[in-house]
Amino acid sequence: MSPKIPGTRHFVAPSGAPTELLPCCSRIDLQPSVRAATVAGGWLLLICAVVLVSVALPLLARIGICLAIATPVLAAVRTSVLLRGDRAVRGLQWSGGWQACVGPDRIRTPVTLRVGSFRVGRAFLLLWLESCDGIHALFIDVGRQDPPAIRRLCRELIASKPKV
């Protein structure tokens, strides 16, 4: 038998313990990702530097283009990556249908998983969730989440894969 890896939890129930999943096990509380926000900020700085240096327009027009690019990107990063604001999804629950915990008060809102959600290797998930108040983008940094919870979420995403 291999030696136990320090810091890991047991995934097998002890003898005589119930083995069904409890309702608390069908949810995940999401953690914001500073590293994904840093990558997005670096990408934004690179794009703005290219526009400012290499586009043959007056300086005021180049600054306007940079502002037009940066404004929606910063708003999207704030909401979907750093999980701040009234429309940020801060948690997901999938027992009895998908529900998102939205905003600082974590108001439970029924959502449906939209086509276009995808996984980038083992590092990131991008989920598009549709609710009664619009579409929410959710960028999940897998490395920042609780490992058992993210595994349960990925299993549920595979099981409830939206039909094209």
Q: How many domains is the chain partitioned into structurally?
A: 1
Find the domain containing 146 and state its range. Answer: 29-159
In a domain, 64, yes or no: yes
In a domain, 4, yes or no: no
In a domain, 105, yes or no: yes
User: Could you give the 3-state DSSP secondary structure of residue 141?
Assistant: strand
Confidence category of residue 25, pLDDT binned at 50, 70, 90: confident
Could you read off the pLDDT of 96-111 as tens digits, one per residue? Answer: 889 999 999 999 999 9
In a domain, 92, yes or no: yes
In a domain, 3, yes or no: no
In a domain, 17, yes or no: no
In a domain, 19, yes or no: no
In a domain, 20, yes or no: no
The pTM assigned to this predicted structure is 0.74
